[in-house]
Structure 1
Amino acid sequence: MLDYRLVEAVAAVIREGGFERAARVLHLTQSAVSQRVKALEDQLGTVLVVRATPARATDEGRRLLAHCDKVGLLETDLAVALRPESGSDSPDADASDVPHVPWTTLPVAVNADSLATWFPDAVAPFLRAERALLDLSVDDQERTHLLLRDGHVAAAVSTRAAAVQGCRCLPLGRVDYLCLAAPDFAAQWFPAGLTEAALCRAPAVIFNRADEVHHQFLRGLLPSATSFDRIARSLPLHYIPSSERFVDVVAQGLAYGMIPLPQARQHLAEGRLVDLAPGRAVPIRLYWHCWGLRTRLLDALTHHVVTHAHQVLAQE
């Protein structure tokens, strides 16, 4: 049987990125945290934490962290099941205002565009009803499932259609990305449309180096792989890793870029942005991945996210 005081110390070091921060969170001395981590490593016969700046988990440490999170969810279920069935703690009361039900942190990975649009509304009813805290990791939608696979999170919004091993995968819907620019920018840089010569000259904006949406658009637009390779090598690019600032850069006429329709709709209606390639939207299909472990909190979060997504995202 694992000593969960030791497990808690390892989890804190991994989550906080170091022993000093973990000590503050756990209200222990740094030496005590270090001793607990070393004790568990000795007990298990393996290194769990890479002593670096920031500290990070080994493969074994990631598996231990995922196990710790799953145990926490199961313990929350048990606390709710054992609550007194009288007064304010009646079975009809939700868990949000039940003192002896602990706050439970749910680590979730989400892409920045979802976080800037539909995701907060999806989780708001869940957070009002439950004693749950979200620990969000933001990454490109092509990479969020890797955080789930490696044990960093319990759930993720991803473009991956196949379930991660040991996890559930549910379709959320489709987000269409449009190639947009401010009207003055379009007139200056694309007077004859999206020609190869203009695409080689006009500054574009993408989220980060893992963002593939712009390149997906160009592959579908250009007549050949040779044309795509030629433009991709010379494409002037801004990197703006913020969904809100990304849209601002385009709306201010500093670049053109691929913007999800939910963020673009009002700008288009008010004439601040124009579609450079009508009918050539890039459809991005999103999926909800979560642990296969069935717990009340994870099931409730899944229900709220999937239900809301089905209401606001395009369905096929």
Structure 2
Amino acid sequence: MEQLRAFAAVIDAGTFEAAAVRLHVTPSAVSQRIKALEIQVGTVVVRRSQPAAPTSAGLVLLRLARQVDLLAAEAEAELSGHGVGGQGRRAAVTVVVNADSLATWFPAVFAELARDDGLELEVLREDETVSSELLRDGRVMAAVTTDGRPVRGSTTQVLGTVRYAAMAAPGFARRWFAADPVQGLAVAPMVNFDRSDQLQSSLIREVTGRRANPPTHHVPDSTQFVTAVAAGLGWGMIPEVQDPADGTLELLDPAWTRGVRLYWQRWKLDSPALARVSDAVLGAARTSGILAATERGDDDRQTG
């Protein structure tokens, strides 16, 4: 168990020295545990790079290491007589969430979990493609994703649908879309969240019937993305809930809207801590008023 804990700590911290600080041992002790683990499995599991990274064999062990550590923490809490949420070692749960969810409905999860003193929550912000990969590799235990296909060893539940609309600043809309909206869509500057964001490009292909290469800006922050569009940097697909409704944004065409269906994927693991996080996420999705009924949704790609 200590070998697996050391392995996960090295991957999380990035170096043997930082892992030693986390585990309250010496770097030499961490190195010895990793070497013992590699001898036991018969291959190298840590790539000694900057930062340290798991080898292909290490990825197989990473998921096991996190599961063992989570269950061990919960067991220690129970055996200490304090129970989960007491004074024992805290159960650490790592999840990955896309940026638009973090900026809108997901913060309700924090309020729900704030009363749980026995839990340590780590939230990673990545787009939906990376989220599935992180879940598959064992780097996270659960994910908000647009991929409804369960990762091996995980379960999937529908959260709801976020509605996106093509919007722009009024002056920008008059300049680029007043004469010929379809042609404007093909040539007007657009704002993408990052280079993985295909929501704007997919709308262009659907509406114009061709691939276009307009000037493209990248603003990898949900709030600043809306600010950039409102400032006239380009048009973009804005979550309806983030429309400031103060006249700074204008709907380009009522038909240029898309639904992005969100799913919650989590490990199939009998863990009270992971179950509490899942309950909080599902509860936030149900009560937020941001996620629409799934029947309205399409399986388009989510930005962020």
Aligned match of 1:112: 99
Aligned match of 1:308: 284
1:123–1:301 CA contact under 8 A, matched in 2:
no
Aligned match of 1:217: 203
Indicate the SS of the match to 1:134: strand
Counterpart amino acid of residue 41 in structure 2: L
Whole-Å separation in 2 of the counterparts to 1:220 and 1:195: 10
Quick check: 1:207 aligned with 2:193? yes
Out of 179, 197, 205, the position equivalent to 2:166 is 179
Quick check: 1:274 aligned with 2:260? no
Deviations 1:176-200 (A, max 9, x none): 111111112212222225232x234
Out of 128, 144, 148, the position equivalent to 1:157 is 144
Deviations 1:232-258 (A, max 9, x none): xx2210111111221111121211111
Indicate the SS of the match to 1:172: strand
2:5–2:69 CA contact under 8 A, matched in 1:
no
Indicate the SS of the match to 1:195: helix
Q: Mean alpha-carbon deviation: is it higher for 125-134 or for 234-243?
A: 125-134
Whole-Å separation in 1 of the counterparts to 2:32 and 2:249: 58
Q: How far is the alpha carbon of 1:288 from its aligned partner?
A: 0.3
Quick check: 1:27 aligned with 2:14? no
Indicate the SS of the match to 2:255: coil
Whole-Å separation in 1 of the counterparts to 2:116 and 2:133: 29
Whole-Å separation in 2 of the counterparts to 1:42 and 1:175: 49
Aligned match of 2:222: 243
Whole-Å separation in 2 of the counterparts to 1:297 and 1:130: 11
1:143–1:158 CA contact under 8 A, matched in 2:
no
What number of residue pairs does the alignment pair up? 292
Out of 3, 7, 20, the position equivalent to 2:4 is 7
Aligned match of 1:17: 14
Q: How far is the alpha carbon of 1:48 from its aligned partner?
A: 0.8
Indicate the SS of the match to 2:113: helix
2:77–2:89 CA contact under 8 A, matched in 1:
no
Quick check: 1:293 aligned with 2:269? yes
With over 3 angstroms needed to count, the CA separation of the structure-2 counterparts of 1:82 and 1:20, relative to structure 1, is: closer
Aligned match of 1:64: 61
2:74–2:91 CA contact under 8 A, matched in 1:
no
1:157–1:288 CA contact under 8 A, matched in 2:
yes
Matched-pair identity in %: 41
Q: How far is the alpha carbon of 1:171 from its aligned partner?
A: 0.3
With over 3 angstroms needed to count, the CA separation of the structure-2 counterparts of 1:175 and 1:300, relative to structure 1, is: same
Give the RMSD, CA atoms, in angstroms.
1.9
1:200–1:236 CA contact under 8 A, matched in 2:
no
Q: Mean alpha-carbon deviation: is it higher for 41-50 or for 137-146?
A: 137-146
With over 3 angstroms needed to count, the CA separation of the structure-2 counterparts of 1:27 and 1:138, relative to structure 1, is: same
Counterpart amino acid of residue 15 in structure 2: G
Structure 2 runs not aligned, ≥5 long: 296-304
Whole-Å separation in 1 of the counterparts to 2:76 and 2:7: 24
1:127–1:133 CA contact under 8 A, matched in 2:
no
Normalization by structure 2: what TM-score?
Answer: 0.89
**Which residues of 2 match residues 48-197 of structure 1 at below 5 A?**
48-82=45-79, 84=81, 95-96=84-85, 98-99=86-87, 101-196=88-183
Whole-Å separation in 2 of the counterparts to 1:206 and 1:50: 34
Deviations 1:276-298 (A, max 9, x none): 12132111000000001121111
